[in-house]
Structure 1
């Protein structure tokens, strides 16, 4: 492998670019945007006809007609002969325990349907999207933890030096290794193309990098929960994105990687987002991991979203899901264009702003493919979910995904 100095270029400094930010959101605006998206989705996906304070629906059998914990109970069997076999919180004649099969071991877990009339259970039944919001809060908290964990692991060697070495190793691999055939264009050349003659476009990309990633991903999760033909289809996409997250977070901890924008000036990159004062509020703060270039979660999310949109178009499926309406040619082509265009746009953005290497995007795509194939690993957490629901005395709500396709007097 060639020495890193062969990657350096004569540095001309920031005199190449004197752009000024056209507009800047106040610090409170982005959290308000994300919260608005989430609460709007919570309202749109509410269970219609269900009243939180009116328990008559339970007495008339409304909740009995719903598949309790529909998103996970199809993975279990009830112990019909086990009445009295389990003592304590798991056994009543009316609410037999749930038998969860976890890694070949059958675990009797508490039946939380006894808590369905508790106030917070009824709130969840009315607004089942609250569960999804909770899952993504856990994801975000895990991301915040990666910075602390990585700094602790590399405290002796110095995380900044380690991350810089990893960033230069990525550049060298792209340019001088056998894999160079996959990277005919250099990141520096992409940024320079925008900086010399296409600065307005780069200003747009700076804003896009800061403002699209989190609101766009949250917006997609909300939208797909509403429009997916079934909860199983939505859950497949959500589990894939979640496992991609966890794979990326583990990589962030053990392989800190400096983004191009933070490399020494002689490598020819400029931190255009900060230069334009366009950074997102999510990019600042004590626990933001600035040395998490590998893989690119910007591209990982966009790739997963793009593939989901292509699936949703129905162009490459011979059959539709139960209750799924046929789309016109216009909508099929529309979803296909967005499905291809969105990850392409994000790839251009992350490279032009010097926030990621091309290799980061390749690894993110591989993580998505891996996560799609092994997303069912999250089934092992179902018993833990049962136990947590028991502790808070709540029943998991039945998802409303797919309800919009149901006919009032027809199929349900």
Structure 2
């Protein structure tokens, strides 16, 4: 009478027990995480929707923070006194000096109101088109930097110098009637005026400068990338929109975001595999080579070719 042999896997299956061990069960989760961390070509509609939703949430949260005027004034006074204590309270002198040159201060007002968005969007588009493999990592750094800023806006409301009573600062936007500024006219009621710490003008400009400097190849473009953050620093101080300590806050947010991105991706964001090196996930795999048969290996025939093909080749090849 013959015996029926059932393998362990078949027996477990027949008994209704899953044949997957702990390692196999953990594999889908590990695969999902690897997919999130693997550089790939970004999808345009997904990225546009992600950026739109993220900025909408950022604006919603930023403006939902209670405009704690009294606390904002106390914090501004504390920052101003701290800068005077260490001998670096130079914002008022710069503000008043620039305000005396009308064309210069008006130009800075428009710089502050527009380039913050224009340059950041331009760099995102450039990364998407020229460095798709690094786009996701760099975009993540920008998003985390902005998210950290929201924490500062909520827990440390701060009046900008132009709204700081008794500081002697000139509100250049109000004096020179800069059109389109979120800090003037009816638009000032659409944004939280006391969300000054940390400065996202500095956080975003540093991100732009870092992305372009590390990835651009044209020397003069690298020079512009280096000059953009300090130029932004001069503008935010001269227009009395930020204390220089707000800029330090923006720098710290960016540093934390870079560290978190490095931990997540296992490398610096600008060192992720890039397009043009055959390293992106969605690139077609290399053509498979047929394994050499015993006969071709013995006679030295290249894999995938028949002996008859060699006989038809002209002599001397």
1:99 match: secondary structure: helix
Structure 2 Cα separation of the partners of residues 186 and 169 of structure 1? 15
> Partner residue of 1:132?
47
Between 1 and 2, higher relative CO (CA 8 Å, sep ≥ 6) is seen in 1
Tell me the SS of whatever aligns to 2:28: strand
Q: Distance in 1 between matches of 2:69 and 2:122?
A: 34
Which residue of structure 2 lines up, in the alignment, with residue 343 of structure 1? 229
Q: 1:358-378: per-residue Cα shift (whole Å, max 9, x none)?
A: 000111111101110013687
Residue 142 of structure 1 aligns to a residue whose secondary structure is helix
Corresponding residue number in structure 1 for 2:80: 171
Mapped partners of 1:409, 1:249: distance in 2: 41
What does residue 299 of structure 2 align with? none
Q: 1:98 to 1:211 in 2, by over 3 A?
A: farther
Larger % of helix: which? 2
Matched with 2:23 is none
Larger radius of gyration: 2
Structure 1: which 5+ residue stretches go unaligned?
1-81, 87-96, 109-125, 152-157, 314-326, 380-400
* 1:143 and 2:58 aligned: yes
Aligned partners of 2:180 and 2:79: how far apart in 1?
26
1:100 match: secondary structure: helix
User: What secondary structure does 2:242 align onto?
Assistant: coil
Between the aligned partners of 1:218 and 1:363, the Cα distance in structure 2 is 22
| Corresponding residue number in structure 1 for 2:9 | none
**Alpha-carbon distance in structure 2 between the residues aligned to 1:237 and 1:174:** 33
Task: Report the alpha carbon displacement of residue 209 of structure 1 after superposing the two structures with TM.
Answer: 0.7
Cα distance in 2, alignment partners of residues 279 and 375 from structure 1: 38
Instruction: Give the CA RMSD over aligned residues.
Output: 3.6
Structure 2 counterpart of 1:99, from 21, 28, 31:
28
Residues 1:295 and 2:198 are matched in the alignment? yes
Unaligned runs of 5+ in 2: 1-12, 19-25, 34-40, 266-272, 288-317
CA offset at residue 308 of structure 1? 1.7
Distance 1:136 1:163, change over 3 A: same
2-structure distance, mates of 1:282, 1:249: 18
Q: CA deviation at 1:213?
A: 0.9
Deviations 1:82-120 (A, max 9, x none): 9x999xxxxxxxxxx98224xxxx989xxxxxxxxxxxx
Q: Tell me if structure 2 keeps the 8 A contact 1:259–1:356.
A: yes
* Structure 2 Cα separation of the partners of residues 130 and 366 of structure 1: 31
**Residue 150 of structure 1 contacts residue 254 of structure 1 at CA under 8 Å; is this kept in 2?**
no
Q: Show structure 1 runs of 4+ deviating over 4 A.
A: 376-379, 401-406, 408-412
1:275 lines up with 2:175 in the alignment: yes
Match in the other structure for 1:122: none
User: Does the 8 Å CA contact 2:142/2:207 hold for their aligned counterparts?
Assistant: yes
Return the alpha-carbon distance in structure 1 between the equivalents of residues 32 and 119 of structure 2. 39
1:249 to 124, 146, 150: 150
- Cα distance in 2 for partners of 1:85, 1:203 equals 74
**Mapped partners of 2:125, 2:286: distance in 1:** 24
> Match for residue 199 of structure 1?
102
TM-score for both structures, normalised by structure 2: 0.68
